[in-house]
Amino acid sequence: MNELLPLWQPSATAWADWSTVQWALLLAAAALCGYACQRRLGLPKVVGYALVGTLAGLLGFGGALWPLQGPVLFALELGVAVVLFECGARINARWFLHNPMVLVQSLLEAGLTYAAVFLVLIALGVDGSIATAVGLIAMAASPVVLTRVVADTHAAGPVTDRAVVLSTLSTLYALTLSTAQAHSLASPGHTLWHSVLPVLQVLLVSMAVAAAVLYLPVRLALRLMSPLSQNTAILLLALITAATASASALGGSAPLAALLAGMLLKQLHPRPLPWSERLGTISTLLSMLMFVLVSTVAAHAPWTGDITLAVLALVVVRLLAKACGVGLGHLGSSAHWRQAAWTACAMAPLSAVALLMVVPFGHIAPETGKTITSIALPAILLMELLGAIAATWALRRAGEARNTVGVRHDA
């Protein structure tokens, strides 16, 4: 396609360029590959999306996108924010009062994941600040991938619910701490206050945007509009877009703001709201663009000998740490140990949320960010593909997902 670029001579009134055509064809190929993966192989469509993006990245497409900025970064933030808002709207704080071990389990798996990845990278000779950043990125599971796997396999049950909640909570911790870590690299200090201040800033700004731009307007709108209306869903999408732009501009985290707003709204409307179904094709297109973009960018990361060793060690240790954390949280409960194993396996994916956590390091601390990127991007690419397959396998082994081979899907 790049060789044909000199032949492209749009008229003076044309607003689209050659990259628009390339992305349109890439998304068309992703839609076809995703459908084939689900119908022919029984794999979630996200695997097909990631495969197309990976192939495009390996062939050289999208190399100029990194470090993400401008409209491309905003599109990725918006796609993640929409998904995290829906994930936050599934978490009912009252559930934690009746089952506090969920919070204990969440803290255990997140803390063990960070500690294990940090210690392994230190053992491999990685600098402490870089190991800290990569450990925080690895802490997050990917509710973005997991919710697509759940939707494509029609999974439902205790393992599915627990995996989505734990993934969402780990993302909450990781987004707050990684964004704060990036800010602290820009203005290093040696006091406790210099360490705590960035965390408070990110959390408070994100909470303020969540309440003022998303929660309060939606609460007011629901007094006047039906939650079943498509116009209500479009209103919500517009507000999420505004919140995404506001949070980033004010020094907060756009995905974190959307997640917190969803959690706040759940306390107002305990029953599920059908916004994702009302958004329909728009939500699907955002998800497809998100997964293709992540794999296209991540495929440009170099795989040297040292980097490959660090990535493989990170992936293995991360899976073991999450399994240990989830398993320890199951002690004393009536759940079978196999449920803990399937839950931990379903939390394997890394994807768009992890990529968004890498971006600030590249902008704020370019030298440190370059090393962080060289480790994180290959791990994201590997675990977007293998993690989605592992999550599908785990949900099927738990008996909560359907086999979709040969079944036609309209969604």
pLDDT of 231-287, one tens digit each? 888 888 899 889 988 888 888 888 889 899 888 888 777 666 666 666 667 778 888
DSSP element (H, E) containing 72: helix 70-88
Tokens (6 digits) for 314: 């990170």
Structural domain boundaries enclosing 210: 24-397
Q: Is residue 331 part of a domain?
A: yes
Residue 47 CB contacts under 8 Å (≥ 6 apart), including other chains: 34, 37, 41, 385, 388, 389
**pLDDT per position as a tens digit, 84-113:** 888 888 887 777 777 788 888 889 999 999
Residue 379 near residue 299 (C-beta atoms within 8 A) = no
**pLDDT per position as a tens digit, 46-76:** 999 999 988 988 887 766 677 778 888 888 8
Tokens (6 digits) for 112: 């063990």
Query: Distance (Å, rounded) from C-alpha 90 to C-alpha 270?
Result: 9
Q: Is residue 408 part of a domain?
A: no
Query: Distance (Å, rounded) from C-alpha 135 to C-alpha 30?
Result: 31
Sequence-distant contacts of 196-204: CB under 8 A, at least 24 apart: 201/251, 201/252, 202/176, 202/251, 202/252, 202/253, 202/256, 203/176, 203/256, 204/252
- Mean pLDDT throughout 319-339? 78
Q: Is residue 376 part of a domain?
A: yes
Query: Distance (Å, rounded) from C-alpha 345 to C-alpha 390?
Result: 6
Q: Is residue 409 part of a domain?
A: no
Report pLDDT for 368: 80
Instruction: Fill in the DSSP letter of residue 400.
Output: -
pLDDT band with cut points at 50, 70 and 90 for residue 411: very low
Question: What are the DSSP calls for 151-186, one per residue?
Answer: HHHT--SHHHHHHHHHHHHHHHHHHHHHHHHHHHHH
Exposed, middle or buried: residue 121 (CB in 10 Å: 0-12, 13-18, 19+)? buried
- Mean pLDDT throughout 360-385? 84
CATH number of the domain enclosing 132: 1.20.1530.20
- Mean pLDDT throughout 354-373? 82
Residue 314 near residue 138 (C-beta atoms within 8 A) = yes
Q: Is residue 203 part of a domain?
A: yes
Report pLDDT for 280: 65
Give the three-state DSSP class for 383.
helix
Query: Distance (Å, rounded) from C-alpha 118 to C-alpha 322?
Result: 14
Question: What are the DSSP calls for 27-55, one per residue?
Answer: HHHHHHHHHHIIIII---HHHHHHHHHHH
pTM attached to this predicted model: 0.86
Residue 59 CB contacts under 8 Å (≥ 6 apart), including other chains: none
Number of separate domains in the chain: 1
Tokens (6 digits) for 248: 């980033």
- Mean pLDDT throughout 326-346? 77
Tokens (6 digits) for 276: 């994702």
Report pLDDT for 294: 86
- Mean pLDDT throughout 209-214? 89
Q: Is residue 411 part of a domain?
A: no
- Mean pLDDT throughout 181-193? 63
Q: Is residue 9 part of a domain?
A: no
Q: Is residue 16 part of a domain?
A: no
> How large a percentage of the chain has pLDDT more than 90?
13
pLDDT at 168 over 50: yes
Report pLDDT for 285: 82
- Mean pLDDT throughout 145-163? 88
